[in-house]
Amino acid sequence: MSITRKILLPIMLMALVVLSVMVVFVTYDTDARANNDERRELTLLGLAFDNELTTLNGFALGLAVEVANNPGVQQAMADRNRAALEALVMPGYQALRKKFEIAQYQFHIPPATSFLRVHDPSKFGDDLSSFRPIVVAANREDKSLSGIEVGRAGFGIRGIAPIRAHDEHVGTVEFGIDIGNEFLSQLKTRYGADWQVLLSSKVAKIATFTEQNQPDKAGLTVQSSTLTHPFIDGAEAAAHPLNDEAFDTIEHRDGREFRVRWLPLKSFNGAQIGWVQILKDRSDFVALRNMRLMQAVGLIVLVLASLALLVSVIVTRVLRPLKPLTAASAAIARGDFSPDLAPYAQSRDEIGQLAQGMQSMSGQLSQLVNHLEDQVKERTGELHSANERIQQLNQALKADNQRMRTELDVARQIQQMIVPSSHEISSVPTLDIAAYMEPAEEVGGDYYDILQHEGQVCIGIGDVTGHGLESGLVMLMTQSAVRTLITLNETDPVRLMSTLNRTLFDNMQRMRSDKNLTLSLLHYQPDPAHADQGQLRIIGQHESVLIIRADGHFEDIDTLELGMPIGMIDDIAEFVAAAVVTLNAGDTVVLYTDGITEAANATDELFGSDRLKHTLLAHHRASAEAIKTAVIDAVRAHIGAQALYDDLTLIVLKQR
């Protein structure tokens, strides 16, 4: 339900109720006033009717009394002289007839015999006692009477007076004025209402009048009426039998509505003989009232319509900005901040405040969204450039990597090329030799060599600091220098090591390299006297030289004091010394680089010299090859899946 309808409906309902109550009240009040007016008017008309009857009564009685007091009439009645009487009264009657409707002018002699009908002189002498009670009563009681009487001659007002002559009752004289349509017409002319006289059918039968010839209803007959179509409301008549009080009814006839006052009609002796009906036509009032009612309803409809229009206009005007506001809020919900709310925000009412609120909210949202969009753009740009940078770096890294890989490949090739062949190794007659070298991924600078020259065997083992090509080159230079010096038969330990050091130191200065290397050189001299003995001289600083005697005795020869790192300082002469070991059959000599002892497992635990010692002790009786394999297996088992970080070099010598 729209807001307009929500506001309109209760207002309309309220207005409808109020207006309806007002109309009902006014209508009821109008009706009540009208009813009162009608009743009062009917009461007045009833009094007027009584008055008319009284006047007629007086008139009829007055005439009768006047005639009865005429001495000539008294004499003629006393004499029963009909002709004299007729002659006496006829001129007066003729004069009266010109002005009044005199239905009856009759003289009677007791008890009730018609003596002279002045209005019809030819008929006389008949006895009226059976149907003229008032005549009977006046003659019997010798007194004047007047009132309504229904007789054979009709229905009307009768005035009757006794005639006395010489103190003798000689008869009565009677004047009768008929009450009929003529009389009622006069009343209608005079007072404006309609009239009807309803007689008890029993009473009416007595009369000879048949002028109305209306059917009986509930024992009543219409005697006279001013209506074109006289009627009797049978139901009301039945509900109010004779001898009842006056009452009112509402009746409808010929398309008209009447308020009918029923007045009891009584004869001269007080007996009710019927009803006089005064009919007040209230059709105009009803029509007027109905018209007013219709007007009122029309007015209500008009008021409601105007009200609806007014409220609609006001509500629409008030709510008009809501439509664009609603649309705007929907637009904002879609992320469209274009709707301009400024025109609605100027209003000072709640809707204006709402528009202001929405405007500032929309603005903030728009800013926020735009800011976000900007930020996203900015970040996207940053990401883009970062990505480009990463790609550049990646390419550079690839290039570097490629270069390093190439360098490492070269270093590895140098190492592999320089390593002595298995033929060279196995060609030493008195020694069982096994050598192992495995370069790490990043080739370290491990060095070993086995050289034979003029019956001497020279075994070298060393480790250049660092990794890669530079270390490889230093190793290569070392190998060349050693080989050169051995070839030149330089056997003096100090000169040998000093010259080596000087050569490499100078070269490394030139290379601007800060590499250095540990290097031990072992000279083996077979004992000419004992084929299964030999002498081993050790010079130069490197790892320990391990000796496992044939009986399992383990010796660790520390080479620290036998030299200095090569290439670190210019002159190492003062630091060079030699250690000499005699080898017997079954004695084992083991040389290694720190790649063996510092091989680490996943928890960074080093293989260590203890494990090496134990492995050697367990396998020293085996061949050099088997011992070598056992140690390498043990190292492999120790590091597991870990990568090699340094070259592994191992040389096993066994005195045959």
Partner 1 sequence: MNTIEGENYAIALDEPSARLTMNGTLRLNGLDEYAPVSALLSRLLSLPTAPTLDLTCLGFLNSSGIAVLSKFVIEARTKQVAGLSIIGSETVPWQTKSLRNLQRLMPSLALSWQ
List b or e across 429-438, with b for residues whose CB sees 16 or more CB atoms inside 10 angstroms: ebbbbbbbbe
Instruction: Give the nearer residue to partner 1 in terms of CB position, either 163 or 464.
Output: 464
CA atoms of 631 and 434, how far apart (whole Å): 12
Q: By CB under 8 A, what part of segment 189-228 binds partner 1?
A: none
DSSP string, 430-491: TEEEEEEEE--SS-EEEEEEEEEETTEEEEEEEEEEEEHHHHHHHHHHHHHHHHHHHHTT--
Judged by CB, which is closer to partner 1: 508, or 624? 508
**Cβ-based nearer residue to partner 1, 127 or 514:** 514
Q: To the nearest whole angstrom, how small is the minimum distance from the Cβ of residue 464 to partner 1?
A: 9
Tell me how far apart the alpha carbons of residues 473 and 539 are, in angstroms, rounded to a whole number. Answer: 23
Site for partner 1 in 590-609 (CB under 8 A): 598
Distance CA 642, CA 277 (A): 138
Beta carbon nearer to partner 1, 221 or 541: 541
Instruction: Please state the closest distance from residue 462 (CB atom) to partner 1, in A.
Output: 13
CB 327 within 8 A of CB 344: no
CB of 403 to partner 1, least distance (A): 16
Query: Whose Cβ is closer to partner 1: residue 605's or residue 633's?
Result: 605
- 372: exposed, middle or buried (C-beta count within 10 Å: 0-12, 13-18, 19+)? exposed
Burial class of residue 307 (count of CB atoms within 10 Å of its CB; 0-12, 13-18, 19+): middle
Q: Give me the least distance between CB of 655 and partner 1, in Å please.
A: 29
Footprint of partner 1 on residues 234-273 (CB under 8 A)?
none
If binding is defined by CB under 8 A, does position 328 make contact with partner 1? no
Q: Which of residues 615-654 bind partner 1 (CB under 8 A)?
A: none
- Closest approach of Cβ 575 to partner 1, in Å? 6
Residue 606 C-beta: closest distance to partner 1, Å: 8
Near partner 1 by CB under 8 A: residue from 46, 62, 324, 466: 466
Q: What angle do CA 90, 95, 96 make, to 5 degrees?
A: 95
Nearer to partner 1, 92 or 466 (CB): 466
SS3 219: coil
Applying the rule CB under 8 A, the residues between 158 and 187 that interact with partner 1 are none
Which of 133, 444 has the CB closer to partner 1? 444
CB of 632 to partner 1, least distance (A): 22
- As beta bridge partners, residue 25 has none
CB atoms within 10 A of CB 606: 16
Binding mask 507-546 for partner 1 (x = CB under 8 A): -----x-xxx------------------------x-----
d(CA 318, CA 320): 6
Question: What does 369-398 look like in DSSP terms, one character per residue?
Answer: HHHHHHHHHHHHHHHHHHHHHHHHHHHHHH
Query: Could you give the CA distance from residue 395 to residue 405 in angstroms, rounded to a whole number?
Result: 15
Q: Find the length of the chain.
A: 656
Query: Taken in order 365, 370, 375, 380, is the CA torsion positive or negative?
Result: positive
Question: Least distance in Å: CB of 607 to partner 1?
Answer: 13
Residues numbered 474-513 forming contacts with partner 1, rule: CB under 8 A: 512
Q: Which is nearer to partner 1, 133 or 565 (CB)?
A: 565
R_g of the chain computed on alpha carbons: 81
Partnered with residue 433 across adjacent β-strands are 653
How many other C-beta atoms lie within 10 A of the C-beta of residue 227?
Answer: 18
Q: How far is the CB of 511 from partner 1 (least distance, A)?
A: 11
Closest distance to partner 1 from the beta carbon of 483 (Å): 24
Q: Which two tokens stand for residue 38?
A: 């009608």
Instruction: Report the residue number, 420 or 565, with the smaller CB distance to partner 1.
Output: 565
Of residues 547-576, those binding partner 1 (CB under 8 A)? 560-561, 564-565, 568-569, 575
- 274 vs 462, beta carbon nearer partner 1: 462
Nearest approach, Cβ of residue 440 and partner 1 (Å): 16
Residues binding partner 1: number (CB under 8 A):
15
Shortest separation between residue 561's beta carbon and partner 1, angstroms = 8
Nearer to partner 1, 181 or 471 (CB): 471
What is the CA 62 to chain-centroid distance, rounded? 98
Among 172, 224, 267, 465, interactor with partner 1 by CB under 8 A: 465
- In the bound state with partner 1, the residue whose beta carbon lies nearer, of 161 and 639, is 639
Cα distances (angstroms) measured from residue 117 to each of 93, 103, 547: 11, 10, 198
Residues within the interface to partner 1 (CB under 8 A): 465-466, 512, 514-516, 541, 560-561, 564-565, 568-569, 575, 598
